[in-house]
Structure 1
Amino acid sequence: MSAEQIATQPYDYRGIVGSLQYLVRGKRLDIANAVRELSKFLSCYNRTHWDAARRVLKYLKGTSTYGLLLDGKTSDVKYEVYTDASFAC
């Protein structure tokens, strides 16, 4: 998008991505990869990036009532967590 087109957009792409980053840090780790990809284009976004950001917002709206209940009452539940920290080497 040109600078003029960016200035006339009804929504602030950078603001939306910033808000999504806030959600990732606080509660919504499930959107971390999508937000990381959106963040790559903060200074050179186009219609494709706008559409991708809208898809993330639509996903959030559709999954706003989902959650993970950890109440400590069930003893037979086992959790497995995997991480990949080798990317920094």
Structure 2
Amino acid sequence: MKVTVIGSGYVGLITEGCLSGMSNDVLCFDVDRNMIDVLNSGSVAIHGPRPAELIRRNLRAGRLQFSTDADAGVAQSMLCSVAL
């Protein structure tokens, strides 16, 4: 399933990691370009090794993407979740 999660804070990152870990294609949308750039580089500012590794693994596998393009996020998804 194609899913968009709006928000890249703690709740959003955990949600995105879990959904992409279940083989969903997940796009994370956020307005904070700096945060999106950091996440796309594979750096995850989240406590605990398991959530961070889950996010990195799914990013490398192509099941998780981070973007500031809201239109792309809404257009590609069957489900949108707001995690603010």
**TM-score normalised by structure 1 residue count:** 0.26
- Point out the structure with max Rg over C-alpha: 1
Q: Which one has the bigger strand percentage? A: 2
